[in-house]
Chain A
Amino acid sequence: MNSMIALAVIASAIRLATPLLLAALGGVFSERSGVVNIGLEGIMIFGAFFSVWFTHMTGNAWVGVVAAMVFGVVAASLLAVISINLKGNQIIAGTAINLLAAALTAFFLELIWHRSGSTPICPDMLTSNPFRLLEGIPLIGSLFKQFTPFVYLAFALVFVTYYVLWKTPWGLHVRAVGEHPKAADTVGIGVYKTRWTCVLISGVLAGLAGACLSIGTVGLFREGMVAGKGFIALAAMVFGKWHPAGSLGACLFFGLCSAIQIQAQSFGLNVPSEFLAMVPYVATIIVLIGVVGKAVAPKADGQPYEKDEA
């Protein structure tokens, strides 16, 4: 009985960690290149909405996934134009994307389905395990029953992100641009191009995170369904010290907190759920203070780069 509860908690922790992880990896790309992405929340809203809309139109949830990525890129390019080319304020740009996403999706909801609140349920979803074989594994087989394609995708992307950013020449360029853009520019690395690419990748990943919340979990879009998860992803990225493996650990930890919060009653835990919900935010502040190993942002994070035109 106890092991069943433990498995259920672990499975739900991993499921809850998945959207956070996807968005946090997006944050890693963007911030490693020097662009702060407060707009993760808004891009997730776009991803959640457009994946549902396109699934409704085509009847195929995978088309929805592609749509989430495409519209994630569209939203991210707004951030890229403002923060890279116009050298505007990245925090304002991100906040603007968050507000715009909430307003536009509510508007489209009204326009397309003539109602507010939520969309009808999708004809196709991605909520079941794509690898049935794994369910046959003794003891932990039941774990995999709950895993959606997004779970596998997110975990694979942790390795991809690590490999790309730390083991390839391009990844070295990205990190150089995020630490010292002027030096990178001097040796011939295109600062603008690198940042653009990274911000667009963060759009793809945050869009996927949104799709994971809608067609990968409940099969519909509801206003306010993202409810701060983009900010938890941001916290996870900081908590994970701007590193994919660290973000993975942070997301699993935060996911576990929410899983316990949901299932606290089933094992008689008497911690107020609000305090469990607070954990990600408080933990991130503690990490920033440096109690358990200091988290330091890339040096040029948040600073626009002005090319000298001599």
Chain B
Amino acid sequence: MREKLLNMWSVLKLPLIAVLVGFLVGAVCILAAGSNPVTAYVALFKGSLASIPSIGETLYKVTPILLTGLAAAIGFRCGLFNIGGEGQYVIAAISTVAAAWYFQWMPHFILVPFLLLIGIMAGGFWGGIAGILKAKMGINEVITTIMLNWTALYLSNYLVRTVLNPATILGSTPRGHSVIVPEVARLGKLRDVIPAFGFSSVHSGIFIALGVAVVMWFLLFKTTLGYEIRGVGLNHQAAEYGGISSAKNTFLAMFISGGLAGLAGSIQMLGLVYMVNQSTELPGYGFTGLSVALVGLSHPLGCIPAALLFGILENGSRQMQLAGIPKEITAIISAVILVFVAGSLLLKYGSNWYEKQKMKKQGLKQGSPVMDATTKGVE
């Protein structure tokens, strides 16, 4: 029992300490802004968890970042760094809105799954481009996914300005956003079933996201495909030697990763936003997804509490602002968490040093280094 607890601690200490440091640095910034950190954090958690509607609003924020977190996690598991979640999200969002408009004659229960599939395929296609370039030509996926992010953004802007603009389709005045997703294609709101959710925007997408997390856990740890993907991620040469195609699994992992980020875009469109705006900036869900995956140790089920944490931060910032504290604090906390996770070896050095001292005492040789939990993740 004690062994098991110790084991769990050695796995969980990295994200837990990272989060703690994030909040500490946040507290320093709050002090610098001349406010009381305790008041600020009370406001933060009150704003995101104190009532059923605010919990609902937090869950609404959790939905897309849980999916982009899962997207990043499956990439990490295959040794891939998909920072293209942004672009995959954008491409899926615009495809979903377009399809929702042109297929609105379909009945609701066929249309919604169809649109979600469109989103998955669009995001998967966008991720798959980087996947095939990596698999066939060894081109670094980090650079291609960054380039594809911005390509997607401008492509989406073009479509919003021309083909999908209300001016083109409905003949109204030109607008900075696309046509609006028709009623029949929208996901149900929880407040329509449970009135206690009040003003909150949480929709059925949260159940889809949670379901997908479980499916991804099953896929990664209980299927041959998952075994192969993890094999390639741990050591692609060894995997190749064992008869696992590293090219095939690299492509598949990028496709699935893109598909998940795409599903986030799709669900966000059908759940609340209902339209795509022209924008000069990337939406940011893909980057938050990276943080979610890292704090969740690239484990699909670990992504759930991690996404909840970032959802709380995002939703609570408004309440904090009402209490007179700059809302940027929460963004600083998130960034510091990421900085700390990136430097996870700081922790490793600490624990290695501790082990060394212990062993010196016992007169033993140095043991094996602590596993790199940053991207390799845990089982």
Residues of A within 8 A of B (CB): 36, 38, 78, 81-82, 86-89, 91-93, 95-100, 102-104, 106-107, 110-111, 224, 227-228, 231, 234-235, 238, 272, 274-275, 277-278, 280-282, 284-285, 288-290, 297, 302
Residue of A whose beta carbon sits closest to that of B158: A274
- Residues of B within 8 Å of A275, CB to CB, are 154, 158
Contacts of A88 in B (CB 8 A): 342-346, 374
The distance in angstroms between the C-alpha atoms of A97 and B340, with both chains bound, is: 11
Inter-subunit contact B339/A100 (CB<8 Å): yes
With A95-B290, A99-B338, A100-B336 in contact, is A231–B144 under 8 Å at CB? no
Q: In the assembly, what is the distance between CA of A116 and CA of B344, in Å?
A: 33
Q: Is the CB of B133 within 8 A of A288?
A: yes
Other-chain residue from A38, A102, A278 in contact with B142 (beta carbon distance below 8 A): A38
* Alpha-carbon distance A281/B81, docked complex (angstroms): 18
The number of A-B residue pairs with CB atoms under 8 Å apart is: 140
Whether B339 and A110, one on each chain, are in contact in the complex, defined by CB atoms closer than 8 angstroms, is: no
**Residue contacts A-B, CB under 8 angstroms, 25 given:** A36-B142, A38-B146, A82-B339, A86-B349, A89-B375, A91-B83, A92-B290, A92-B338, A97-B339, A100-B339, A103-B332, A106-B328, A107-B328, A110-B326, A111-B32, A224-B280, A231-B150, A234-B143, A235-B143, A278-B151, A278-B154, A282-B147, A285-B144, A285-B148, A288-B140
B150 and A278 form a contact (CB under 8 A): yes
Q: Given A104-B332, A285-B147, are A93 and B339 also a contact pair (CB < 8 Å)?
A: yes
Given contacts A238-B143, A278-B151, A278-B154, contact A224 B281 (CB under 8 A): yes
Specify which chain A residues have a CB less than 8 angstroms from the CB of B343 in the assembled complex: 81-82, 86, 88, 93
Specify the chain A residue showing the minimal Cβ separation from B288. A99
Within 8 A of A (CB), among B112-153: 133, 137, 139-140, 142-144, 146-151
Chain A residues within an 8 Å CB radius of B352: none
Contact with A along B258-301 (1 / 0, CB 8 A): 00000000000000000000001110000100100010000000
Would A99 and B334 be within 8 Å (CB), given that A82-B343, A106-B328, A275-B154 are in contact? yes
Query: In the complex, given contacts A38-B83, A99-B331, A285-B148, what are 9 additional A-B residue pairs having Cβ atoms less than 8 angstroms apart?
Result: A36-B142, A88-B374, A92-B294, A103-B328, A110-B326, A234-B143, A278-B154, A282-B151, A284-B147
Cα distance, A274 to B149, chains bound together (Å): 14
- Across the interface, do A297 and B332 meet the contact criterion of CB distance under 8 Å? no
> How far, in Å, is B373 (CB) from chain A's closest CB?
12
Residues of B within 8 A of A104 (CB): 328, 332, 335
Instruction: Give Cα distance in the complex from A111 to B147, angstroms.
Output: 34
Q: Which residues of A contact B158 (CB under 8 A)?
A: 272, 274-275
Contact residues in A for B294 (Cβ distance below 8 Å): 92
- A101 CB to nearest B CB, Å: 8
Residues of A within 8 Å of B328, CB to CB, are 103-104, 106-107, 110
Closest 3 pairs (CB-CB, A-B) = A103-B331, A274-B158, A100-B335
Beta-carbon contact of B338 and A95 below 8 Å: yes
A278 with B143: CB separation less than 8 A: no
Most buried by B among A96, A100, A275, A290: A96
Whether B169 sits at the interface, judged by CB under 8 Å, is no
Known: A89-B375, A92-B290, A92-B338. A107 touches B326 (CB 8 A): yes
With the chains together, A107 CA to B329 CA distance in Å? 7
